[in-house]
């Protein structure tokens, strides 16, 4: 096993007391410059690291942030949590925190886990995801004045339900998508979303509706509300396109719905002879300019250091057997979340700045835990549009 180096080992080696070593690390300003340097040198040499358990016992802080990981539905948008989690781990590490995972089936069992964790590992804070109407978790945490941030707005305006949150402006995302389609000449733009009641879904629909209204275009009958899923998206798209509204483009609340819609659009195109409009279903565009992310408005994203996500880079293409002759575009489709599926099938999609969101969560938490600054803060980030062949 690795030999343990305690604060006493360092103290002895440096010829000072425990407390001076502790002070050089935690309150450098009270230690004489020369002593400080010497102690730091010894710490370095011995490879000393403060034992977290002992520190926690005395200070009551674990430097642990807990977050739930869940299986994630059909998995298509599962990568969203995945990416967020990675960003969170990275940002937390920079701030001296570590991420602790737990699972829970519903609000009730999640609260039970809160109690369990608080009694044993004593995480300093929680990060909540998938907030919803009448979220039991937020009220439970608020009642006990436990520090937490939600990734997602509180979708109810109960007076006491004020807490810190970070979110991505879904409405701005669908608005940008809609504006992009308008700029491309589309005038009958439909929306595929979820049944009313989900905060996220309503928000995304609102962005589309608002933008149409701003351009003096009617939205009546151009919207469908179905459960999330590829096939329900396909059904809804068929229904909407057959309704006689002459819809030429679709904005969708998720990549799952969008993928279903895209399948329908491609099928219709091949049926009506427009097959060659796109190179081949699911094949990337032959130009390197096919994958771009234009700004969707004033970028308020805070600078959070370099994101080290290795980019695969836009795929280059050689001979495209499907691209025979240029034809008129079939129904344009835009998804939401820019999941791997979207990249794989060439679906234009709204991308959430997940790395920035994670960094913002950590920033809010550390500020709250450091007891500096206001206890309740909000950060609303702008998404961007990743353009691909589908729109």
Partner DNA sequence: AGGCATGATTTGATCGTTCAAAATGGCCGA
Partner DNA sequence: TCGGCCATTTTGAACGATCAAATCATGCCT
Q: Which residues lie near DNA (CB under 7 A)? A: 4, 6-8, 15-23, 25-27, 30-32, 34-35, 48-51, 54-55, 57-59
| CA-closest candidate to residue 315, choices 388, 378, 252, 245 | 388
Sequence-distant (6+) residues with CB within 8 A of 57 are none
Residue 38, helix vs strand vs coil: helix
Residue 328 to residues 91, 180, 260, 323, 386, Cα–Cα distance (Å): 46, 18, 21, 13, 22
Q: Which of residues 322-341 bind a second copy (CB under 8 A)?
A: 322, 339-341
7 binds, options DNA, a second copy, none, Cβ within 5 to 8 A by partner type: DNA
Alpha carbon distance 211, 230 (integer Å): 26
136 binds, options DNA, a second copy, none, Cβ within 5 to 8 A by partner type: none
Q: Smaller CB distance to a second copy: residue 78 or 245?
A: 78
Task: Name the token pair of 327.
Answer: 């034809």
Residue 180 to residues 185, 262, 379, Cα–Cα distance (Å): 9, 17, 25
At its nearest, how many Å lie between a second copy and the CB of residue 212?
Answer: 27
Q: Kindly report the CA angle at 51 between 101 and 67, in degrees rounded to 5?
A: 15
Q: Per-residue x/- mask for a second copy, residues 150 to 169, rule CB under 8 A?
A: --------------------
Q: Smaller CB distance to a second copy: residue 95 or 100?
A: 100
At its nearest, how many Å lie between DNA and the CB of residue 123?
Answer: 16
At its nearest, how many Å lie between DNA and the CB of residue 365?
Answer: 19
Q: Which residue has the tokens 């094949």?
A: 283
Q: Smaller CB distance to DNA: residue 15 or 302?
A: 15
Q: Which of residues 194-233 bind a second copy (CB under 8 A)?
A: 229-231
| Angle in degrees, 0-180, between the axes of helices 18-26 and 7-14, rounded to the nearest 10 | 100
At its nearest, how many Å lie between a second copy and the CB of residue 217?
Answer: 27
Alpha carbon distance 30, 20 (integer Å): 9
Q: How many residues bind a second copy (CB under 8 A)?
A: 90
| CA-closest candidate to residue 283, choices 256, 333, 332, 323 | 323
Near a second copy by CB under 8 A: residue from 196, 216, 273, 321: 321
**Does 54 contact a second copy by CB under 8 A?**
yes
Q: Smaller CB distance to DNA: residue 18 or 45?
A: 18
Q: Smaller CB distance to a second copy: residue 96 or 216?
A: 96
Whats the size of the chain, residue-wise? 391
């Amino acid at each position: 096993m690795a030999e343990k180096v305690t604060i006493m080992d360092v103290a002895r080696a440096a010829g000072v007391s425990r407390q001076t070593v502790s002070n050089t690390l935690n309150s450098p300003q009270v230690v004489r410059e020369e002593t400080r340097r010497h102690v730091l040198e010894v710490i370095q040499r011995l490879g000393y690291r403060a034992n977290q358990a002992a520190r926690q016992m005395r200070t009551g802080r674990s430097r642990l942030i807990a977050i739930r990981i869940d299986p994630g539905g059909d998995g298509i948008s599962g990568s969203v949590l995945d990416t967020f989690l990675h960003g969170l781990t990275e940002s937390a590490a920079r701030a001296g925190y570590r991420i602790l995972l737990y699972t829970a089936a519903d609000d009730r069992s999640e609260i039970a886990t809160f109690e369990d964790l608080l009694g044993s590992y004593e995480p300093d804070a929680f990060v909540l995801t998938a907030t919803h109407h009448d979220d039991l978790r937020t009220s439970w945490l608020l009642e006990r004045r436990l520090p937490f941030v939600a990734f997602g707005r509180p979708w109810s305006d109960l007076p006491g339900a004020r807490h810190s949150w970070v979110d991505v402006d879904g409405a701005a995302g669908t608005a940008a998508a809609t504006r992009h389609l308008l700029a491309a000449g589309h005038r009958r733009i439909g929306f595929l979303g979820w049944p009313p009641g989900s905060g996220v879904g309503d928000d995304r629909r609102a962005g589309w509706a608002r933008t149409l209204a701003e351009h003096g275009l009617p939205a009546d009958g151009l919207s469908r509300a179905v459960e999330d899923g590829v096939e329900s998206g396909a059904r809804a798209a068929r229904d909407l396109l057959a309704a006689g509204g002459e819809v030429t483009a679709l904005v969708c609340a998720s990549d799952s719905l969008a993928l279903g819609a895209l399948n329908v659009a491609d099928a219709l195109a091949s049926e009506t002879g427009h097959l060659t409009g796109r190179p081949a279903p699911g094949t990337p565009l032959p130009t390197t300019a096919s994958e771009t992310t234009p700004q969707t408005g004033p970028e308020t994203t805070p600078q959070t250091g370099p994101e080290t996500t290795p980019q695969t880079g836009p795929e280059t293409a050689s001979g495209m057997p499907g691209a025979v002759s240029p034809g008129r575009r079939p129904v344009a489709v835009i998804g939401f979340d820019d999941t791997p599926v979207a990249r794989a099938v060439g679906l234009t999609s709204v991308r959430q700045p997940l790395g920035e969101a994670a960094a913002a969560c950590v920033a809010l938490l550390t500020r709250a835990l450091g007891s500096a600054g206001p206890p309740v803060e909000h950060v609303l980030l702008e998404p961007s549009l990743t353009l691909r062949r589908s729109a």
